[in-house]
């Protein structure tokens, strides 16, 4: 059996069932085997019928003496059976399962698992699970209980997984026994060691994929190797209106070294909000310009694209280098694509043709699909790639996700930046907080999790509803409203008014998380702060504190305040991400849907030692990959899925 084959290759699984299984992340036979139980029921202890008591949940083995359908008073069916063993007999009932009288026959040997209750005056086994015969899968053992969905029960999953495991022979380099122990353990002690081994298997696939990407990239040769004219670049840096930080200088050196090698650069630049990533990008773009190459800078939103455009234009203009902006609203002449040295844009940039692209800079790369990133890279002939992120990435996550990239980290903020004072504010202090805001006479962000009121989360502030309330609370102040459903021109107008000081308070959804730079804004309020990961709260907080004025962040919350208190004492996004990784796991740090972070079935981003162990193992396996056909086919399948548009 080819375990990488689609799940429909298994008997009895058609297109309808395949769609149901896809909801559980099961697309292949391998996925089915790695659909891991989340708990177990111990059905291994067989009880004598004469000994069982009402209130107990028991497993019994016996012979069906009789079974029939009866009507209840409400004209519903009830199935009644009598089951006996050597010690006695017991009544068994089910409700509205008329097919049971065709499935279970008098004389059948049956194993039952369920709760004993009084039904009338007699002890009765009520609605038990059952299994006929002696070759037991669902009874008489420790039984796995799986994540389920409509139409896919744990019993159905067990019935499909068990026969595969009993016939599976070649599973190298994965461990068959661990897989058997996780699904059908002899004891619960076996599940822990099995879980760790399966975590290694899961990490191995990810690490090998990263190594293959890196290997492929390193085989690429540049048709034109950059020269790095250091005197001109030093002059460029000296003319900047500020001094680079130590980590900016270190990162610039790493990038310039990459640019001077025969292989294209593939580097990830991580840095806190406000740490100066755009300046580093500008220096790299200037180096590309000195080699007569264009630079494309890809941003995930129009807001961020405009922000980068304005910043780069102010830095690059004095050197006579033009900067172009390409978004969905751009109406640039086609000739401009051959004249400008630097282009900043959203995904709209990917539809344009350029003459000589030598450097691609992708900001917040996890917000783009793999296909979009590949399309960006195809804009030049083996261009250098620099990806940037303000999302704090814990060390274990970086090792796991970005094994194909070289990593640079900006660890310090530009001089003159004052840490943002942060407080967790309970509901009973809300009025006092509003009065304090009035006294500050400064521009304020107020961030709400949703645009409209949620029917299921009525306590959570919604931006549009909050906007109406705040207009009454601050009648003498001008308010703006920003959210993702506004048209691009409407967003630009709202931000322009706020930046120009024409509005005092900007009520927003987390769309302000990236790309809005308002130096005069010094207060950030976040509603329902417990709904955000610490890393995201830190990014939102980074919208203020961008000048030499003291700034403040107020986190309104009545729950999870112990976790949120970390925001009061920690000002490093990386430290906060590590804290949240330990407390909540990666899905809650980033929001896996939004940020594209793989959700492991078994492995954990917290397990640094195991990740390091697997990295070493993957490096040993890669040269001998041809020995492992299953592994090769799984990696090939993953690669095919990777390039599908998101």
Instruction: Judge whether 230-410 and 421-595 match in fold.
Output: yes
Contact 110, 83 (CB under 8 A): yes
Give the E-state strand segments of 552-628 in sequence order: 552-556
Under CATH, which architecture does the 421-595 domain have? 3-Layer(aba) Sandwich (3.40)
Under CATH, which architecture does the 49-140 domain have? Beta Barrel (2.40)
Report the alpha-carbon distance of residue 506 to residue 483 in Å, rounded: 10
pLDDT of 456: 47
Report the alpha-carbon distance of residue 390 to residue 272 in Å, rounded: 5
DSSP string, 58-119: EEEEEEEEEEEEEE-TTS-EEEEEEEEETTEEEEEEEES-TTHHHHS-TT-EEEEEEEEEEE
CATH topology of domain 230-410: Rossmann fold (3.40.50)
Look-up of token digits 């107008």: 493
Tell me the pLDDT tens digit for each residue of 359-397.
Answer: 999 987 656 655 566 676 677 778 899 999 887 777 667
Q: How confident is the model at residue 245 (pLDDT cuts 50, 70, 90)?
A: very high
Domain range summary for the chain, segments of one domain joined by +: 49-140, 230-410, 421-595
Q: How confident is the model at residue 599 (pLDDT cuts 50, 70, 90)?
A: low
pLDDT of 595: 43
Tell me the pLDDT tens digit for each residue of 415-448.
Answer: 777 889 999 999 899 999 999 998 888 899 999 8
- pTM: predicted TM-score of the whole model, two decimal places: 0.69
Tell me the pLDDT tens digit for each residue of 608-644.
Answer: 788 889 989 999 999 999 999 888 888 887 765 554 4
- Please state at what angle helix 246-259 crosses helix 230-238, rounded to 10 degrees: 150
Report the alpha-carbon distance of residue 251 to residue 254 in Å, rounded: 5
> Across all residues in the chain, what is the average pLDDT?
86
């Amino acid at each position: 059996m080819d375990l990488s084959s689609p799940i429909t290759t298994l008997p009895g699984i058609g297109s309808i069932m395949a769609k149901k299984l896809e909801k559980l992340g099961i697309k292949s036979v391998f996925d089915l085997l790695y659909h891991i139980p989340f708990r177990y029921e111990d059905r291994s202890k067989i009880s004598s019928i004469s000994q069982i008591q009402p209130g107990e949940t028991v497993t019994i083995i016996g012979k069906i003496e009789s079974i029939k359908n009866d009507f209840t008073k409400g004209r519903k069916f009830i199935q009644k059976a009598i089951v006996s063993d050597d010690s006695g007999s017991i009544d068994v009932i089910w409700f509205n399962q008329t097919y049971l009288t065709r499935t279970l026959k008098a004389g059948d040997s049956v194993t039952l698992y369920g709760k004993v209750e009084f039904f009338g005056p007699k002890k009765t086994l009520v609605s038990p699970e059952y299994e006929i015969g002696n070759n037991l899968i669902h009874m008489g053992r420790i039984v796995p209980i799986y994540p389920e969905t409509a139409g896919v029960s744990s019993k159905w999953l067990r019935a499909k997984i068990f026969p595969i495991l009993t016939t599976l022979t070649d599973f190298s380099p994965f461990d068959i026994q661990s897989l058997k122990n996780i699904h059908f353990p002899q004891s619960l002690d076996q599940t822990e060691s099995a879980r760790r081994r399966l975590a290694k298997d899961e990490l191995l696939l990810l690490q090998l994929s990263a190594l293959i990407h890196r290997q492929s990239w390193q085989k690429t040769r540049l048709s034109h190797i950059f020269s790095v004219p250091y005197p001109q670049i030093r002059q460029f840096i000296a003319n900047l209106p500020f001094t680079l930080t130590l980590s900016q200088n270190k990162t610039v050196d790493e990038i310039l070294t990459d640019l001077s090698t025969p292989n294209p650069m593939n580097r990830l630049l991580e840095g806190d909000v406000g740490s100066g990533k755009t300046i580093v990008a500008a220096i790299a773009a200037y180096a590309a310009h000195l080699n007569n190459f264009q630079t494309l800078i890809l941003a995930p939103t129009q807001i961020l694209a405009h922000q980068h455009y304005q910043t780069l234009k102010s830095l690059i203009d004095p050197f006579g280098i033009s900067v172009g902006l390409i978004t969905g609203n751009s109406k640039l002449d086609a000739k401009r694509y051959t004249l400008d040295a630097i282009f900043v844009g959203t995904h709209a940039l990917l539809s344009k043709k350029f003459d000589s692209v030598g450097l691609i800079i992708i900001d917040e790369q996890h917000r783009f699909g793999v296909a979009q990133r590949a399309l960006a890279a195809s804009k030049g002939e083996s261009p250098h790639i620099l990806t940037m992120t303000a999302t704090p990435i814990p060390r274990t996550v970086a090792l796991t996700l970005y094994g194909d990239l070289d990593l640079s980290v900006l660890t310090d903020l530009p001089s003159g930046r004052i840490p943002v004072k942060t407080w967790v504010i309970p509901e009973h202090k809300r009025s006092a907080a509003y009065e304090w805001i009035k006294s500050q006479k400064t521009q304020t962000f107020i961030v709400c999790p949703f645009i409209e009121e949620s029917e299921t989360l009525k306590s959570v502030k919604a931006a549009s509803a909050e906007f109406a309330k705040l207009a009454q609370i601050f009648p003498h102040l001008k308010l703006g409203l920003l959210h993702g459903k506004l048209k691009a021109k409407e967003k630009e107008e709202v931000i322009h008014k706020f930046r120009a000081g024409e509005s005092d308070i900007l009520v927003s959804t987390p769309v302000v998380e990236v790309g809005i730079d308002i130096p005069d804004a010094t207060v950030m309020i976040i509603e329902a702060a417990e709904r955000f990961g610490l890393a995201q709260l830190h990014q939102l907080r980074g919208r203020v504190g961008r000048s030499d004025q003291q700034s403040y962040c107020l986190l309104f919350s009545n729950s999870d305040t112990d976790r949120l208190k970390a925001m009061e004492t920690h000002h490093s996004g990386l430290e906060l991400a590590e804290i949240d990784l330990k407390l909540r796991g990666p899905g809650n740090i980033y929001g896996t849907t939004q940020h594209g972070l793989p959700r492991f079935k078994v492995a954990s981003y917290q397990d640094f030692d195991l990740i390091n162990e697997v990295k070493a193992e993957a490096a040993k396996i890669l040269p001998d990959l041809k020995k492992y056909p299953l592994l090769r086919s799984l990696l090939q399948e993953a690669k095919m899925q990777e390039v599908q548009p998101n």
